[in-house]
């Protein structure tokens, strides 16, 4: 079976609005403008879509896995059920260690193994350097989105997921 191409997606700040605090209540979970269209563009160009998100508030006891799953279902409903898989790391370094938590790469490694993903033809879209570090560890190209970092901080840096999707479709697996 040939390797599949994939776009790994951080959640908070890429798919939904970053609130500066943990986002786990459905009323606070707001899908960013252009996200459904960006996901459709990527899906129409043959990419698997896999969310990889740190959810350290679970380890801190601020919310539960059920809260995370409810937010993921709201995301799916808002985006036409285009996301193929959701991976989340419930740990936090002050409470529990985990190789799943970005900047480590276990969430990506699990998806690569399960879905026969070709890292060389895949991308990571994140709003934090730790997202991009996780991608680098497994040989996946990456794009930094948002305005957390000064322009020029990272080689491929764009405003949002819509712009990232256009870059990915244009560059393909080159």
Express as a percent the part of the chain with pLDDT over 90.
83
pLDDT band at 173 (very low <50, low <70, confident <90, very high): low
Q: Active-site residue 131, yes or no?
A: no
**In the sheet that 157-158 helps form, which strands lie side by side, from edge to edge?**
85-89, 48-54, 6-9, 123-126, 141-145, 157-158
| Beta strands 141-145 and 157-158, pairing class | parallel
26-71 pLDDT tens trace? 999 999 999 999 999 999 999 999 999 999 999 999 999 999 999 9
What value does the mean pLDDT take over residues 3-31? 94
Answer CATH for 6-171 from 3.40.720.10, 3.40.50.300, 3.40.50.1000, 3.40.190.10: 3.40.50.1000
Task: Tell me the average pLDDT of the chain.
Answer: 93
Q: Is the pLDDT of residue 83 over 60?
A: yes
Q: Is residue 123 within 8 Å of residue 106, measured between CB atoms?
A: no
What value does the mean pLDDT take over residues 88-96? 84
Q: Active-site residue 173, yes or no?
A: no
What CA–CA distance (Å, rounded) separates 108 from 168? 18
């Amino acid at each position: 079976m040939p390797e599949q191409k994939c776009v790994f997606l951080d959640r908070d700040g890429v798919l939904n609005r970053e609130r500066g605090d943990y986002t786990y209540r459905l009323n606070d979970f707001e899908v960013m403008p252009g996200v459904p269209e960006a996901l459709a563009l990527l899906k129409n160009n043959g990419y698997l879509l896999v969310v990889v998100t740190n959810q350290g508030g679970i380890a801190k006891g601020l919310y539960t896995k059920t809260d995370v799953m409810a937010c993921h279902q709201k995301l799916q409903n808002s985006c036409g059920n285009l996301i193929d898989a959701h991976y989340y790391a419930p740990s936090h370094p002050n409470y529990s260690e985990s190789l799943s938590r970005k900047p480590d790469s276990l969430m990506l490694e699990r998806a690569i193994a399960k879905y026969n993903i070709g890292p060389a033809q895949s991308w990571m879209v994140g709003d934090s350097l730790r997202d991009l570090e996780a991608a680098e560890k497994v040989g996946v190209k990456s794009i930094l989105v948002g305005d957390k970092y000064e322009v020029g901080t990272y080689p491929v840096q764009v405003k949002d997921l819509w712009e990232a999707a256009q870059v990915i479709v244009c560059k393909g697996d080159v």
